Copies of this chain bind each other. A is one copy, B any other.
Amino acid sequence: MRSHSAAPRRVPRQQRGERRVAALLDAAAAVIADVGYEAATMNEIACRAGACIGSLYQFFPNKESLTQALRAQYGKEFHTAWESLENQAASLTIEQLVAQLIHTAVDFVTEHPAFLALLDAPRATRNPSIRKVLRELLARIFLLQKPSLSKARALRAAAVTLQLIKGMNELYAESDAATRESLVQEFKIVLRCYLTFHLTPRFGSPESAPTHKPGVAGRF
């Protein structure tokens, strides 16, 4: 690896440039889904996109930048998928909300096999801002369910929820279809219990911090 900048080398300024970039990203997803992240080579990606290697390097100075671009695209698509939930959020039961969140996520991963393979890619290729935007979206959804929630709590719950959803993919991936379905159902329980805790008005302390009282049972 000789170059280190992850920024695109050149932004496409013509229509065919944009088409190329789109084709390259598609090809990258296909190759990565096929052979895994590590084994996916730049030459093969360019080839599958009907381009040659030089063309690829015009827009993406290195593999890392290509990976980041792919991640960004997935992030936006996923954001769009959840965005529609934001409108209905207030009228959904927790039960329904959980089902929607999980099914959208599961469907997304199913339809984008490369997304899973990207988990193997080095951390350096991740874009924190994508996570941030997704967290904020989910936090807003939570706030629609329970407006009295503090923003800090909503954000924290969103971060954890997002991470749990993401983490489960690994488990789904190594299961056959039947087990996967039961795991999804099981995970619904997890999220339902957790979000019920946060989003349901409770008598005792409606806005108490989630830090449990240490007197009861800390680490004994």
Per the 8 Å Cβ criterion, residues 115-174 of A in contact with B are: 120-124, 128, 156-157, 159-160, 163-164, 166-168, 170-171, 174
CB pair B128 A174 closer than 8 Å: yes
Per the 8 Å Cβ criterion, residues 17-52 of A in contact with B are: 36-38
The stretch of A2-10, A70-78, A79-87, A192-200 that contacts the partner chain: A192-200
- Say how many copies of this protein the assembly contains: 2
Complex Cα–Cα for A202 and B178 (A): 27
How does the 8 Å CB contact mask read for A180-220 relative to B, with 1 for contact and 0 for none?
A: 00110111111011101100101000000011101011111
CB pair B120 A122 closer than 8 Å: yes
Complex Cα–Cα for A172 and B192 (A): 23
- The size bracket of the interface on A is 35 or more
CB pair B196 A217 closer than 8 Å: yes
Complex Cα–Cα for A172 and B116 (A): 21
CB pair A186 B157 closer than 8 Å: yes
CB pair A183 B171 closer than 8 Å: no
How does the 8 Å CB contact mask read for A92-108 relative to B, with 1 for contact and 0 for none?
A: 01111001100100000
Name A97's closest neighbour in chain B (CB-CB).
Answer: B217
CB pair B167 A183 closer than 8 Å: no
CB pair B217 A95 closer than 8 Å: yes
Name A163's closest neighbour in chain B (CB-CB).
Answer: B171
Name A94's closest neighbour in chain B (CB-CB).
Answer: B217
CB pair A218 B194 closer than 8 Å: no
CB pair B167 A186 closer than 8 Å: no
CB pair B189 A218 closer than 8 Å: yes
Chain B residues near A36 (CB-CB < 8 A): 122-124
A-B contact pairs, 9 of them (CB 8 A): A37-B122, A99-B220, A100-B219, A120-B123, A160-B190, A163-B167, A164-B167, A164-B168, A197-B220
4 further A-B pairs in the complex, CB-CB below 8 A; given A36-B124, A160-B190: A99-B217, A159-B171, A166-B167, A196-B219
